[in-house]
Amino acid sequence: MSGNIELLEDTLARTREEGRAALIAYLPAGFPTVDGSIEAIKAVLDAGADIVEVGLPHSDPVLDGPVIQTADDIALRGGLKIADVLRTVREAHQATGKPVLVMTYWNPVDRYGVDRFAQELADAGGAGCILPDLPVQEADPWREHAAKHGLATVFVVAPSSRDARLAEITAAGSGFVYAASLMGVTGTRDSVGEQARALVERTRAAGPLPVCVGIGVSDAAQAAEVAEFADGVIVGSAFVKRLLDAPDAAAGLDAVRALTAELAGGVRRRTG
């Protein structure tokens, strides 16, 4: 089975044709349990998310804020394995037909085996990988195997990225570019700010890939603000916090469904 980069590209093209940004949800595999994470991911996709990022929990998550670190710790203490992450991708994709990516740090992929991981992710129906700590100049081994298996390679850019670096990343990446709207770790913010808009404009000028913005979006108003200038709005910590705060699994699913519906309305609403 080949990967689903075409499904990812088609989804982003379709949302653009609809005159809106894509809603991209992030949830870590294995939280609160493997089965619970699969149900939560299916819930957000069914409730209106266009794309989902499945987090591969890591013991040293340098980009992730305290909310996601807490969820990752729960997943790792529960004994999560890469096989469970791949099962999560497979079941979420098969149940919804929507693009599912894995967001992971490089070390687990390298230790698992680059070609093995790419092959198994493609076999699970995965659309690709977001690799926040893999420098583009060191990415050729991954990119080679990803291309062979039909997977997108999504790089992360930040406000500190220079124009030459943005050009290098947009040339090497595929699927979309993940624009981290603020310096620092993930987490909800009171405002997303003008840094994000400027970064999207610079990244678009550097190459043709869609640009999706993450880090800081937590409600419909912020989603609408980012949707004005980005191809996709990425939301992670707000979903994880809903699950962390829920008194039980059923309430958690209701909470993420409600947030998804709110955010889906936001990406369809123009603020300007």
Query: Tens digit of pLDDT for each residue in 202-232?
Result: 999 999 999 999 877 889 998 999 999 999 9
pLDDT at 67 over 90: no
Mean pLDDT of 171-189: 73
Active site residues: 53, 64
User: Would you state the pLDDT for residue 270?
Assistant: 57
Q: Percent of the chain having pLDDT more than 90?
A: 75
User: Would you state the pLDDT for residue 185?
Assistant: 38
Residue 214 main-chain phi, psi, to 5 deg:
-130, 175
pLDDT grade, residue 76 (50/70/90)? confident
Query: Tens digit of pLDDT for each residue in 184-193?
Result: 334 444 455 6
- Domains of the chain from N-terminus onward: 2-266 (3.20.20.70)
User: Would you state the pLDDT for residue 182?
Assistant: 62
- How far is C-alpha 22 from the geometric centre of its chain's CA atoms? 11
Compute the distance between CA of residue 224 and CA of residue 269 in angstroms, rounded to an integer.
6
Compute the distance between CA of residue 110 and CA of residue 169 in angstroms, rounded to an integer.
20
Mean pLDDT of 191-203: 82
Which residue is listed with tokens 């709207």? 181
CA dihedral in degrees (143, 8, 63, 79; nearest 10)? -90
pLDDT at 35 over 90: yes
Which position has the higher pLDDT, 76 or 255? 255
Check: CB of residue 127 under 8 Å from CB of residue 5: yes
Mean pLDDT of 145-170: 94
Residue 81 main-chain phi, psi, to 5 deg:
-120, 165
Mean pLDDT score of the chain: 90
- Model confidence pTM above 0.75: yes
